[in-house]
Chain A
Amino acid sequence: DTGVSQDPRHKITKRGQNVTFRCDPISEHNRLYWYRQTLGQGPEFLTYFQNEAQLEKSRLLSDRFSAERPKGSFSTLEIQRTEQGDSAMYLCASSLGAGEQFFGPGTRLTVL
């Protein structure tokens, strides 16, 4: 049984660089979510996909952020021109329909 996996687990980058994260959901799950979590806070919704369609995107999400799920399986989240405020844990979750969301281990991003 494989749960949600994320790669890389840690990423350190310099301000202004682009970064890309990957998420592989539980195989039979059709929905995939991205959240961001900063220290001492609960996860904050970024965007989600049903199959390959991006159904909702947070109004707070900068246009420097883009996500794709091209074949309805894995997803990538790209952050362009990173800023220090982008430092956070980026979490991916998947679900079957609107059911329980199962989270991956997260990617911790540090922007220097």
Chain B
Amino acid sequence: EDQVTQSPEALRLQEGESSSLNCSYTVSGLRGLFWYRQDPGKGPEFLFTLYSAGEEKEKERLKATLTKKESFLHITAPKPEDSATYLCAVQTTNAGGTSYGKLTFGQGTILTVHP
């Protein structure tokens, strides 16, 4: 069974204090790993997709990286508006390489950035 574990569960930073969020996964075959941001009471907002080990994607203060077992979301010099829950999810393939459509999510990391 596919498993996704995120750590830490919660992270409190001071504005400007860089850090990383971790997403570990165990799957039979990975098609893609997705990062989302979710604000309270809203639906997840798409950030990045990573498809292969060694791949990196950047957007403003965020950079996502992928290895064969985990992904990191690096936050550089965060601002209070970066406060949110960050979710990672995997989309997998079967033995024949056909993609399953569904995403399997981790439980999320709640990030709070203090001014």
Contacts and interface: CB of A to CB of B under 8 A. Distances in A.
Contacts, number: 62
A106 B42 contact: yes
Contact of B43 (A45, A99, A103): A103
A33 B42 contact: no
Most buried by A among B41, B44, B49, B105: B44
Interface stretch (B11-19, B63-71, B75-83, B95-103): B95-103
A42 B106 contact: yes
A48 B102 contact: yes
B55 to A, nearest CB: 15
B42 A105 contact: yes
Interface residues of A, number: 28
Contacts of A42: 4, 87, 89, 105-108
A102 interface: yes
- Which of A55, A103, A104 is packed against the most chain B CB atoms within 10 Å? A103
Contact of B91 (A35, A44, A91, A98): A98
B34 interface: yes
A56 B42 contact: no
